[in-house]
Amino acid sequence: MVKVESGTATREPVPDFLRDNTPESLLDLSWTWEGLGVQDAAWWPEEDVSGELGANKKWGAEVLTLDVERKVVLVTRKQVNMTAAEKAERDSAIAAEWAGRIAARRFQAETGGTTVEGVQVNTERDSQALLTGAAFAATLDPAYHIKWKAETGFVDLTGEQVLGIASQVRAFVQACFNREAELLGFVADGSITAEMLEEGWPV
């Protein structure tokens, strides 16, 4: 709400003694007690008609114009050029936000599981660590053989199979990080889009 008095609009808050009144009752305060000093004033709703903010611009001073017929204050904000420092700060904030979103999406892809040679493999961090340990054991013992708990239940794996699965899971995880790095490159050159965030992840 914007104060209107003597044909002029000003940014002044609604007084405490009027806060419980409806917006409609504030359009004309001639009904109030004279001692309150607001009989010649009113508080009208505002409508922003500034339009869309241009590239490398920021909002500057505002101009308040009365639409007497509708009892609305039209707000037009001027656009001014951003300084080099402001542009750098804005770009840094945007890049940081994108980096966080991309990292979260990579983690989702990385730990979402994959299928290797028909075996559905859990790729959460704990599972990755267990698989790395099993692969290390398989390199030490040519006769290594284990029951591995896959997403669909236990499967029998030879040492060679363990090494194969571990290698492919490692490649899968690395592909997730590669995609993250690729997307960060798009952030750096300003070509990143929301659609890209859901594309190109390994399965």
118: pLDDT confidence band, cut at 50, 70 and 90?
confident
Is the pLDDT confidence value at 203 over 90?
Answer: no
The answer to whether the CB of 75 falls within 8 A of the CB of 47 is yes
Regarding beta strands 46-48 and 72-81, do their DSSP bridges make them parallel or antiparallel, or are they unpaired?
Answer: parallel
* pLDDT, tens only, 42-61: 999 999 999 999 989 999 99
- Would you kindly state where each structural domain of the chain is located, as residue ranges? 2-81, 84-198
135 with 162: CB under 8 angstroms?
yes
pLDDT above 90 for 117: no
Residue type, 166: A
pTM over 0.75: no
pLDDT tens digits for range 150-196: 888 899 999 999 999 999 999 999 999 999 999 999 999 999 999 99
Q: Between vectors from CA 184 to CA 180 and to CA 189, what angle results, nearest 5°?
A: 150
Q: Does pLDDT of 142 surpass 90?
A: no
Q: Is the dihedral of CA 128, 136, 161, 148 positive or negative?
A: negative
| Distinct helix (H) and strand (E) counts, the chain | 3, 10
